[in-house]
Structure 1
Amino acid sequence: MKRYWQWILALGALLTFAGWYTTTAHAEGVGYTVSAKLPKNQDDKNVTYFALRVKPNQQEKLGVVISNQSKKSATFQYGVNQAITNNNGVIDYSNSNPKLDSSLKVGIKDVFNEQKLQKVTVPAKTSKTVYVTYKMPSKKIDGMILGGVYVKKMAGKEAKAKKGVTITNQFAYVIGVRLRESSVDVAPDMKLNEVRAGQINAYNQVEANLQNPRPGLMSQLKVKTKVTEVGKTKVVLQNEKSNMAMAPNSNFNYASI
């Protein structure tokens, strides 16, 4: 028998921008650190990520310092990834080829020259600066382009075998990149798209696809949900989650379990 569900969704969001940050990535425990060489057009001197004021047609190289503190040479992968929102309601920079929201008109891959992951080898106890280059479109953009320089130490011979299984620890760090041409923030928006029934790990759930279709950051997002059968008032599923965030021009599936 086919069931129809009624989804009652309450949204609360504090539309702030200063609350977003990605700090300098430190990884002393795994033998390396990553930091940004901030350029002159840094528009927030109090942060250690790339918060840049840019202009149409502007081109610039951004430097990232990788310091290998270990006693062995190490190879790293790096690239610039688009900020998306994962299904936990967290802004995610780890995917080099994410599925992009239909509302995204100008993103990281449109302005950065590096379309593939690059590799660099850093000798033991030394530092090396790598560069990524962006060029802004000729037409002025509203809001922000949000992404991050993603740096990952590649697995080496230190992989350990345990009971016939090879275990390799990998660590990756991100330095945020925010590009904007104006200090006027574009207020984000919220749309409820598709609602569907599903199952994860044998648990029934109802998923709602939430979308922020504008080039503005959404933080301190709170979602309350109640699910009933159509025409009935008895709540069969309910959920509440706060302190979430949404990247500009992104969507994610919020699950009520």
Structure 2
Amino acid sequence: MTVPAKTIATIVVDVNMPQQPFNGIIEGGIYITKQLDDKIKEQGGMQNRFSYVIGCVIRENDQQVQPKIVAKTIKTKTQLYRPNVIWKMSAPNQINISDVTVDGDITDLQNKKQIMSRHETQRQIAPTSNFNLVFKGDNDLKSGRYLAKVVMKDKQGHIWRFSQHFTVGTPVKTQMVKRWTMKWWYWLLIILLIIITYKLYQHFKQKKQILRHEKKS
């Protein structure tokens, strides 16, 4: 579609609706971008390209849908050199859950000690989506039994409380960042190379001066 400069155009977008009726909302967006000029592209010129997305919410009826959050599996892995506990969650209903506050912790059941925690505010959860709650640790996660707990609240006053036991078989180690360090003999070698290079430079410089003097004589 071509839109002349400084004008407004109306476009019609066809949307394929689900075959089955639904309650709640479906979220999406209309992506708009400028088409590049092929002639300028062939000539190797530079072009500015702007694009934007218009959000779109589709509702089939006015029936209210209650928000729902479901706790799923827990797994552990090392990310960014640190042991993490990743708790998978889902929001199966077709409704936005806005301004969610998250408070959770991980407890080591061997010594009844809290080893990880997470606090988050103003989290947005999309309809029919999966998301992760990630608990980041500072120390190795040893083999044993653990308990994960979390409380989630939205701005409408809905509260979700979850607790789940999980077992760590193979310890999850904290990976140290390897830093490259130069040993003393590296420095000695560099210093020797600098001295040798300087001596050679002086030698050739003196030799060049002697040749010039002999030519003048």
Structure number with higher relative contact order (C-alpha < 8 Å, ≥ 6 residues apart): 1
- Determine which structure has the larger strand proportion and give its number: 1
TM-score (norm 2): 0.50
Whose helix proportion is higher, 1 or 2? 2
